[in-house]
Amino acid sequence: MKKSIIKDTLSLLAITIAAALCLSLVHMLTSPKIAEAEAKEKTDSFYLVSESAESFEAIDASEVDRFNEGRSGAYVVEAYEAKDGDGNFVGTVVSAVSHNGYGGDIVLSVGVGVDGPITGVRVTSMSETSGLGANCQDEEWIAQFKGQTAAEIGYVKNGDPGEGQIDAITGATITTKAVIEAVNTAAAFCRAHADGR
């Protein structure tokens, strides 16, 4: 009986070690490819939110850190100057996050042109409810931000949005607020950076 228990224990230990080694190997092989795919997706989103850009130049992290000081709820993760083919400044693009989504963090790419209008917004990561908050990725809904110049964008639940407002996602007010919070934060950084150039 004792030999049987020891034998079974050693068998389970060997299986556990083999499984752990296999998982480690798979992780080691796939991690670089996943990171590469995520970086490409982020870069692609930058081109979508700043269509006139040919390249992007990173903005010093200390400027981003100063902007984020004292902020809660939403902040800028990283920021880039958008340049045209001749290297001229055509706007600012940022990755911003709101921690206040219904399903957690909502990460966006936001572009703002030289004179302050939002040139585009793309959701790059979220865990919102399918059919409700996940509609924040819908092209028609997210396009409402393009061209907005208001310092603080708001929303309406029913009726036609006025200047500086967008139409809320039906049944997903929390998601709507989180996306607007991240967009307002990103736009404020972009405008401040452009003014300080």
SS (H, E, C) 56-121: EEECCHHHHHHHHCCCCCEEEEEEEEEECCCCCEEEEEEEEEEEEECCEEEEEEEEEECCCCEEEE
Domain assignments of the chain as residue spans, ordered by start: 48-196
C-alpha closest to that of 103 among 183, 185, 174, 184? 174
pLDDT block averages, 10 residues each, the chain of length 197: 78 87 84 75 87 93 94 93 94 95 95 93 93 92 94 90 92 95 95 84
Give the pairing type, strands 154-156 and 165-167: parallel
User: What pLDDT is attached to residue 50?
Assistant: 93
pLDDT score, position 1: 62
Question: What's the confidence (pLDDT) of residue 43?
Answer: 82
Task: Give the pLDDT score at 184.
Answer: 96
